[in-house]
Structure 1
């Protein structure tokens, strides 16, 4: 019996504590709402950061992975490498073709000099033959032979000049092939375009990936924002660049400065997880407030995504923030 009475008392105690906690929460919410002036709009949301998918451009086998989930990475840092054996072999082949094209050009350029000399000699022979034929010292047949040699030498010089152009075109073609293969080789080294944190590692060394296969997702910790939903009458007073504040549930003692970076052009329903049923029945505008990148860079290691909180927007830029929304930073 004593145990039964103890259990009932314990249950009653738990229920009383729960009711007190619930009452305190309702009091806090109503007090906070009543303390908020009309020129401040507010809403609930979660911290979000821009995500970059680091993917391979070409199909192939993933050779190495240099970072893990949660690691901080610098802009331009190499995160992984695809197998490059085939590309390197093609690059060596193209470089050999380039050297061969250069040798061909050098050869035909030397032949140009030979053909020029032959043309000069043939021209002089033709001129001498013409003089001798006019005075009757040689036959017309000899003159015709001299003329033929001159025309042939002229044509051969033209042909070898064409070969020079072809050789130079061959060099340009092999240079383009080398450049293309070098780009392919460089793109086999997967780098991040931004400074941030690795959110997901999606592949392991040895895996064969298709073209466009994702290997990492990297968060840009300098592009962090929170989206909230405000009613029509408030949205009409919000402009891009309006002053804003963010308070996170995890660190309510701090007030983070922000700016409005986006206001939806049309209304939409608020997410089910954010507001009550009555609020969901209203059409709302999505507003995104973004934290200053310079502030984020100073606290990169402290930036977390997915953290819930509240955002506040100053509807009248001529008004001062309430004291409880003055900026407070760690």
Structure 2
């Protein structure tokens, strides 16, 4: 009797095992059908990336202070680094003194011209008087010649003064241009953020001397966010610039970020040494860039972390319809989107390592 029961038990266990295996394969098949892409849409693995921007010195100067640490979010125009401008300020003071001296020479030249014009006017009156006296026979010819020479000398002196006036004006402009150049160099010593971004690397400390072009900080431009994927040549050839795209991240595969194809590489990234057979030609992979809209990225700057892995999807056929699981989009929010509270649904780009 016990043998009969044991055989029945084994039979039931086999039945349950078969049912479990069938259910497992059925579930996997159903999940595969749910995540299958329709014709006209292709995908590739990638990671969230952003353009890098270097904050660098324009000329060799010592670092006075750095006002942002790694990981800080910075705004366009925000002061990030101040360089020591003591020498430049001394040069600016010297240039301003040169402006004052040039302006004094200019004023002297103008006064000299006024004086020369008055002397010419007086000399011409005396010359006319001498001319009448000579004509009437009451004056000497010599005196007339002396006064005539005096007029000519006064006119020559006036021309010289006018030339000095032009020179003085040019000296003032040169001095002002020199001061403006130094002022620009002083302003360039205050390094500001050109973008809305996050500090990725802090490359200098106060007291260090940066060379011309020396980097103090490297920023991640949080408004220029994208994902690069690699597609076989046949699929890449069907992707158009401006085609619709979607990005999903591994930590939140049920949320999709809308995007557009902004670049398709004209050259293969992986090329066999000899491309002869069809299987080898299929190894050719082309880089495709899916750009996140700037207005959307700017609303999630607190959440974006580059380096997060995910999947990028692009349309090879504009009329193809996105599957339901790629229509749950991260939508733009009016105004600045606040960071999600603990326990809330995470937004794109949170988590992961920082990188370019």
Q: Do these two structures clear the TM 0.5 threshold for a shared fold by scoring above it?
A: yes
- 2:222 aligns to what? 221
CA distance in 2, matches of 1:266, 1:70: 35
Contact in 1 for aligned 2:231/2:286 (Cα 8 Å): yes
- 1:211 aligns to what? 212
Q: What do the CA deviations read for 1:195-249 (whole angstroms, capped 9, x no partner)? A: 1100000000000111000000011111101111111221122111111111111
CA distance in 2, matches of 1:243, 1:224: 16
- Give secondary structure in 2 for the equivalent of 1:204: coil
- 2:8 aligns to what? none
Indicate whether 1:118 and 2:119 are aligned: yes
1:76 positional shift: 0.4
- Give secondary structure in 1 for the equivalent of 2:107: helix
- 1:8 aligns to what? none
1:138 positional shift: 2.2
1:250 positional shift: 2.1
Indicate whether 1:323 and 2:324 are aligned: yes
CA distance in 2, matches of 1:282, 1:164: 77
- 1:273 aligns to what? none
Contact in 2 for aligned 1:66/1:80 (Cα 8 Å): yes
Task: Name structure 1 gaps, 5 residues minimum.
Answer: 1-22, 271-277
- Give secondary structure in 2 for the equivalent of 1:161: helix
- 1:285 aligns to what? 286
- 1:73 aligns to what? 74
1:113 positional shift: 1.1
- 1:184 aligns to what? 185
CA distance in 2, matches of 1:43, 1:79: 38
Contact in 1 for aligned 2:223/2:298 (Cα 8 Å): yes
- 1:156 aligns to what? 157
1:134 positional shift: 2.5
- Give secondary structure in 1 for the equivalent of 2:302: helix
Contact in 2 for aligned 1:269/1:280 (Cα 8 Å): no
Indicate whether 1:248 and 2:241 are aligned: no
- The TM-score, its normalising length taken from structure 2, stands at 0.79
CA distance in 1, matches of 2:296, 2:141: 97
- 1:7 aligns to what? none
- 1:20 aligns to what? none
Aligned residues: 299
Task: Name structure 2 gaps, 5 residues minimum.
Answer: 1-23, 272-278, 331-346, 348-356
- 2:235 aligns to what? 234
Cα distance change, pair 202–280 in 1 and its aligned pair in 2 (3 A): farther
Indicate whether 1:139 and 2:152 are aligned: no
CA RMSD of aligned residues (A): 2.2
Cα distance change, pair 311–32 in 1 and its aligned pair in 2 (3 A): farther
- Give secondary structure in 2 for the equivalent of 1:200: strand
1:135 positional shift: 2.8
Q: Which moved more, 1:107-116 or 1:199-208?
A: 107-116
Indicate whether 1:298 and 2:306 are aligned: no
- 1:93 aligns to what? 94
CA distance in 1, matches of 2:238, 2:34: 19
CA distance in 1, matches of 2:129, 2:325: 109
- 1:11 aligns to what? none
CA distance in 2, matches of 1:295, 1:279: 40
1:32 positional shift: 7.0
1:139 positional shift: 2.2
- The TM-score, its normalising length taken from structure 1, stands at 0.86
Cα distance change, pair 34–204 in 1 and its aligned pair in 2 (3 A): closer
- 1:15 aligns to what? none
1:279 positional shift: 8.7
CA distance in 2, matches of 1:248, 1:172: 60
CA distance in 2, matches of 1:125, 1:320: 102
Q: Within 5 Å, which residues of 2 pair with 1:23-62? A: 31=32, 35-62=36-63
1:268 positional shift: 2.6
